[in-house]
A and B are shown apart, each in its own frame.
Chain A
Amino acid sequence: MFLQQRARFAYVLILPALVLITLLNLYPIIEGFVVSLQAQNQMRPNPEAFVGFKHYVRALTEQDAFWSSLGRTLVWTAGSVAGAYLLALGLALLLNMDVWGRGFFRALFLIPWVIPDVCTALLWKWLYGDEFGVINFLLVKFGLITRPVLWLSNPDIAMPAVIFVQIWKLYPVMFIVLLAALQNVPKELFESATIDGATMRQRFWYVTLPFIRSASVIITLLACIWTFQSFDIVYLLTGGGPASATKILPTLVYEKAFWGLEMGYAAALAMLMLLGLLVFSVAYLLVYRSQSEASA
């Protein structure tokens, strides 16, 4: 009886969230699925004609489109999230110490988060420039290089360069989450581990990590999802070039949907992205669950 009441109460608590998410997040996705089965080419008549899985077949079979972009998107996502997580964790561990001015540093490290995306992209484009880019200017000045590095113009360097920008943009949210999680680590546990003679690494592994594991899993998963479908930084920095080196799926979807006016095809690409993310997320969570059960 008590349990039933509690359960009923739970529905009341989640209702507002459920309504909003269903209406504004889920319903448009379903609509997107419907569109992906329709012709929906804004250049041709009869946009609502049902075409079945034609767009999906095209996406999966066409050369130089879905698959090559998918590969680049995986590199882009994995590189950005791993880099951002390591940076965020490092900074969070440093600032979890009793150092003077930690509040000040904490605020400073959050600044990149605040810069609007359009500014982030244009700012970095400027920093990366071959002639007026201040990064090259400083590297030359300090004698580290003699000729400017073509950060965005060399197909081999462009991807790492845009990943670096995404790391810069992404790490603050991970940092703040990890920092908040670290504050849950009981001091006493740490002290007793220290007295027991645990090394620094052991203490991180056995004391700190269990407390931030849940937050880490969630934030890296969300970061993967965000990065996988973020497009403005790449679009503004390189336009997908040079020679398609940074052409990731979201830019492909955007171009097909709004410049190519092939809304149906773009929706099919987006559904494929969703499907891929879904498989990945479920697998990720399952691995996490089995691991945490094993360690528990």
Chain B
Amino acid sequence: MSSESGINRRETLALAMGGLFALTSGEASAQGQANLTFWTVRLNTPELAAALKTILADFEKENPGIKIKHEPVSGNLVYPKFLTAIRGQSMPDIAEAYSYHPLQFAAVDQMEPMDDIIALWKSNGTLANIFNEFAYKKFLWKDHYWGVPYNLDIRPVYYRKDLLEAKGIKPPTTWAEFQAAAIALNDPASGTFGVVFPAGNFHITQHFYMSFMFQAGGSILDKDGNLIFGTTAKDANIKALVYLTDFATKHKVTPPGIASYNTDDAHTIFVQGRAAFGFGTGEVISRVMKENPAMFDKVGILEVLEGPGGPSNKLTAAFYNPMFVWKHSPVKEQAKTFVKWFVQPGRLERLYEAAPGRHWPIFKTDIDAPRVKNNRLLDEALRKVVPYSTDFAYPGFGRPEMGVIDGEKMFAAPVNEVVVGAKTPEKAVMDAHEAMKKVFQV
């Protein structure tokens, strides 16, 4: 898209009237003081907001010319908030949001390229210090980086060490072992299911499917960003879908109601000790610590499984969350100063302490933080999951269309449909492919 077409007539009008509301956005005042507005979507709970406040205070102390105003963007209506802001040109200067946002906003010419930050990181070794190159490659689109990763959101598989030991089962490392273990450990009479994962029509459902897709050698895009979900990757993706849904339909070792489960429901089942294996986010760790501390020592984190794709595909879906700067911000240089300051090893320790497991650093050198060493589950996650965490762009670069595909839950639908028996895996995958094709217009 040409850079002119991004601003429509209305936005120009809004800009012309800017005096009225520019006050609310960042603006350099006469004294050279820059006020930055920083929107967050995942740093809003009381604990995290409090931790963030102290970090921002540190920044302001080191950079007396810049003031940061933190505004939480709440609820599941993040998109309406962002889209109205774009239409009305009342965007923040910096935001921390979902994976696909920077590319989608770049597609409507709202994003400031972050190429200079990536170049700087390349020269000073920061890039080499990031766990996985997909962490930043996913933000590369049309030759520019539109965001930088600051945080890692992991999707580990948790297991109950005590239950496995009682049956003499070793922690599984392959698909076959995992399946056998889940079946063997399913014991509804004593209130434990073999495995729990969310299969409702929600975004999270797709993340676990994605892990199995990668492990089966499948993916959604190829390395050039072309859609291959139902073409060359079809067989692998069906294989992954069958493997995942068989736990519910064929082996019946999941809770009966997973077809309406969201993240939280699956977490609760595992945290309350009702499943031998549980798929979840990093938050399970802090929930176990808080809600069922007696179980902490009995919980372990599995190695990433090896599936039909072989050892080179020993991968797990994870999400490197972006920070991005708005193109129309009058203070984007200061905004970038903040991003560079914020995304550094050791900088966000207080966030990690506030909600253990929920947020992860993206740097290799953060691996040995004492905080992690002192918490066995964090340590296991860091060794067994973090190094194998890749992102939706794998094996290539990001596409803004993925935001639509994720947003409309196009690959959660197959899981949901197969679990309730509404479609065969083959049909579910092909229907999803057709829906995705429309987004790519191919």
Residue positions of A touching B, CB distance < 8 A: 42-48, 118, 125, 128-132, 147-148, 150-155, 158, 235-244, 255-256, 258-261
Residues of A contacting B408 in the complex (Cβ-Cβ under 8 angstroms): 255-256, 259-260
A43 near B400: Cβ-Cβ < 8 Å: yes
Residues of A contacting B40 in the complex (Cβ-Cβ under 8 angstroms): none
On whether A236 and B76 interact (CB within 8 A), knowing A150-B259, A259-B407, the answer reads yes
Residues of B contacting A129 in the complex (Cβ-Cβ under 8 angstroms): 257, 265
Closest to B105 in A: A42
A258 near B75: Cβ-Cβ < 8 Å: no
A131 near B255: Cβ-Cβ < 8 Å: yes
Closest to B6 in A: A45
On whether A150 and B200 interact (CB within 8 A), knowing A236-B76, A243-B416, A243-B422, the answer reads no
Residues of A contacting B261 in the complex (Cβ-Cβ under 8 angstroms): 153
Top 6 nearest A-B pairs by Cβ distance?
A259-B407, A241-B201, A130-B257, A243-B422, A152-B260, A258-B79
Chain B's interface size range is 35 or more
Residue positions of B touching A, CB distance < 8 A: 1-2, 5, 8-9, 75-77, 79-80, 83, 104, 107-108, 200-202, 255-262, 265, 268-269, 272, 274, 400-401, 403-404, 407-409, 412-413, 416-417, 419-420, 422-423, 439
Residues of B contacting A237 in the complex (Cβ-Cβ under 8 angstroms): 260
User: Shortest CB–CB separation between residue A237 and chain B, in angstroms?
Assistant: 8
Closest to B407 in A: A259
Q: Which of A118, A155, A244, A258 has the most CB of B within 10 A?
A: A258
List 5 extra interface pairs beyond A43-B104, A242-B417, CB under 8 A: A42-B83, A132-B268, A240-B201, A242-B419, A258-B80
A63–B201 alpha-carbon span in the complex (Å)? 19
Residues of A contacting B255 in the complex (Cβ-Cβ under 8 angstroms): 130-131
A93–B403 alpha-carbon span in the complex (Å)? 52
B259 near A242: Cβ-Cβ < 8 Å: yes
User: Shortest CB–CB separation between residue B271 and chain A, in angstroms?
Assistant: 11
Closest to A130 in B: B257
A13–B403 alpha-carbon span in the complex (Å)? 49
Residues of A contacting B201 in the complex (Cβ-Cβ under 8 angstroms): 238-242, 244
B409 near A153: Cβ-Cβ < 8 Å: no
A181–B1 alpha-carbon span in the complex (Å)? 59
A105–B367 alpha-carbon span in the complex (Å)? 60
Residues of A contacting B268 in the complex (Cβ-Cβ under 8 angstroms): 131-132
B416 near A45: Cβ-Cβ < 8 Å: no
A239 near B202: Cβ-Cβ < 8 Å: yes
A242–B5 alpha-carbon span in the complex (Å)? 40
12 cross-chain CB contacts under 8 A: A42-B83, A43-B404, A44-B1, A45-B2, A130-B257, A155-B420, A240-B201, A241-B201, A242-B260, A244-B422, A255-B408, A259-B403
Closest to B440 in A: A43
Contact of B260 among A118, A153, A235 (CB under 8 A): A153
A260–B407 alpha-carbon span in the complex (Å)? 7
A239 near B409: Cβ-Cβ < 8 Å: yes
Residues of B contacting A258 in the complex (Cβ-Cβ under 8 angstroms): 77, 79-80, 83, 407
User: Shortest CB–CB separation between residue A38 and chain B, in angstroms?
Assistant: 10
User: Shortest CB–CB separation between residue B291 and chain A, in angstroms?
Assistant: 12
A244–B268 alpha-carbon span in the complex (Å)? 25
B108 near A42: Cβ-Cβ < 8 Å: yes
Residues of B contacting A42 in the complex (Cβ-Cβ under 8 angstroms): 83, 104, 107-108
Contact of B422 among A128, A155, A236 (CB under 8 A): A155
Residues of B contacting A261 in the complex (Cβ-Cβ under 8 angstroms): 83, 104, 403-404, 407
Q: Which of B1, B79, B413, B416 has the most CB of A within 10 A?
A: B416
A154–B258 alpha-carbon span in the complex (Å)? 10
Closest to B400 in A: A43
User: Shortest CB–CB separation between residue A198 and chain B, in angstroms?
Assistant: 50
A238 near B260: Cβ-Cβ < 8 Å: yes
